[in-house]
Amino acid sequence: MDSRRLLRTSATALAAAGLVLSGCSGGSDAAAPRTAAPAPSSAPEAPKLKKYYEQRLKWRDCGVEGFQCATLRVPLDYAKPDGEEIELAVSRARATGPGKRLGSLLVNPGGPGGSAVGYLQGYAGIGYPAPVRARYDMVAVDPRGVARSEPVECLTGPQMDAYTQVDQTPDDTAEVNALSAAFKDFAAGCEKKSGKVLPHVSTVEAARDMDVLRAVLGDGKLTYVGASYGTFLGATYAELFPDRVGRLVLDGAMDPSLSALDLNRDQTGGFETAFRAFAADCVRKPDCPLGTGSVAAAGEAMKKFFRDVDARPVPTGESRKLGESLATTGVIAAMYDEGAWPQLREALAQAMGGEGSGLLALADSYYERETDGTYANLMSANAAVNCLDLPPAYRDAAAVEKAVPSFEKASPVFGAGLAWAALNCTYWPTPPTGRPHRITAEGAAPILVVGTTRDPATPYRWARSLAGQLSSGTLLTYEGDGHTAYGRGSDCIDTAINTYLLEGTPPADGKRCS
């Protein structure tokens, strides 16, 4: 996102991301009111929604071996179910057997803005543990506003290039005004290109879409694995439909009770924790571009590098130069997965030597920029969902200036940039419909919440908090680095989650794996 755009890594690629540098976060610099949870839905569907719940999907070949695709119809506005409708992209891989089919397993990689269909076809449908894929149809739906489902569009490719290069650590009034203008132009572009859908891409609406899909697939309960922002989507579903909760895995959990300001500041601290882990590993190596001294010295070297490229951007071999904003994005992208640390060391060494293509490539992967200069709609959808889900973090630029010291305390390396990144929603054209509040999901079946102790994007305490809020929450902890835990190499984590998905038995609350 803003800072809430949360990145989910797979074995092969960055599947989604949490837009830390150009997003909006929601929340308020004043204490945000805690609102009551939506009333749970156990009654039969409203008559006007019946046609959606009883529709039949027409499965067809996707052009991707092993997968089928279909289109799900849902109302644009659930308050007006007899009004305009929209179409959502759905994909599935049928259960491979052997063993009795257990139903459908929906997956979501996070974001908001990550393509669930892309994640399914590129990783989950072929890379999830074979026993799970044998017993479940693996299913994904791109949430409304995302990828193939009524995508939110805001800027052209060249405009996005300019947007991602705007200085996000302004040093004077002119730079503050330039950053504010960039956020305003982005918001205006979204309203111009996607004004119809902007008021209707909230997480609550996406959760209601998932319930329609659950019914259409013939499942009495929802079985679901959500990563990163996908945990907020899953928890929201449990809040709305506690009696329809089957086996829910919420991996890399978010805390729905926090305001955007607190979410951003907490995540800033998470990136600092991840950077310190990277630095501790780096300084033990003779080729560390941040030196071979202490972690603190490495942090100072990192800050100096950011100041240097802010003053004198580095060539990259193309028209774009590597300034502070893109350099910071590239470094942050590598914080999501410790497997990217060698790539980051090499990219930093190159950039410090005057060649910025390595860090630019990391930043481009984070923003889902293609080599032809086009972008996926990840950044647009990310802002649209975040700015609808929570009130803006700040009232104006002056409020950011007051908040910067607390962000710099949370992260001396990234604090200032991440504080300013959350200004985006201040200028959003659509008023927010959500508020921060605790989610208890009273009456739901056991829900498995997974947290990683040094997760950069979803700090571990968020998982502890969500597991404590949920009336049936069970906490599973991975003591390690990186964002999310399932399928990242821990047999202990994978066995616990597989057992829950296949047998319905969650691990003991508080179980820890390393």
Joined together, the tokens standing for residue 64 give 């991707």
Contact 130, 27 (CB under 8 A): no
The per-residue DSSP string of 228-253 comes to: THHHHHHHHHHHH-GGGEEEEEEES-
Residue 387: which of 256, 199, 169 has the closest Cα? 199
Contact 479, 513 (CB under 8 A): yes
- Burial label for 99, CB within 10 Å (0-12, 13-18, 19+), is exposed
In the DSSP assignment, the letter for residue 36 is: P
Contact 142, 106 (CB under 8 A): no
Active site residue 200: no
Sign of the alpha-carbon torsion through 196, 198, 200, 201:
positive
- Is the bond preceding 112 in cis, omega lying within 30 degrees of 0? yes
Active site residue 483: yes
Query: Exactly one of 3, 25, 228, 257 is catalytic; which is it?
Result: 228
Query: Exactly one of 455, 465, 481, 490 is catalytic; which is it?
Result: 455
Q: How far apart are CA 451 and CA 474, in angstroms?
A: 11
Please list, in sequence order, all residues whose beta carbon lies within 8 angstroms of the beta carbon of residue 48, skipping any fewer than 6 positions away: 81, 82
Cα angle at 513 between 509 and 514, to 5 degrees?
A: 160
Please report how many Cα atoms fall inside a 13 Å half-sphere around the Cα of residue 275, on the Cβ side.
29
With tokens 């089928």, the residue in question is: 68
SS3 334: helix
Residue 278: which of 352, 353, 333 has the closest Cα? 333
Distance of CA 165 to the CA centre of its chain: 21
Active site residue 228: yes
Contact 17, 368 (CB under 8 A): yes
SS3 325: helix
Q: Which residues are marked as active site?
A: 228, 455, 483
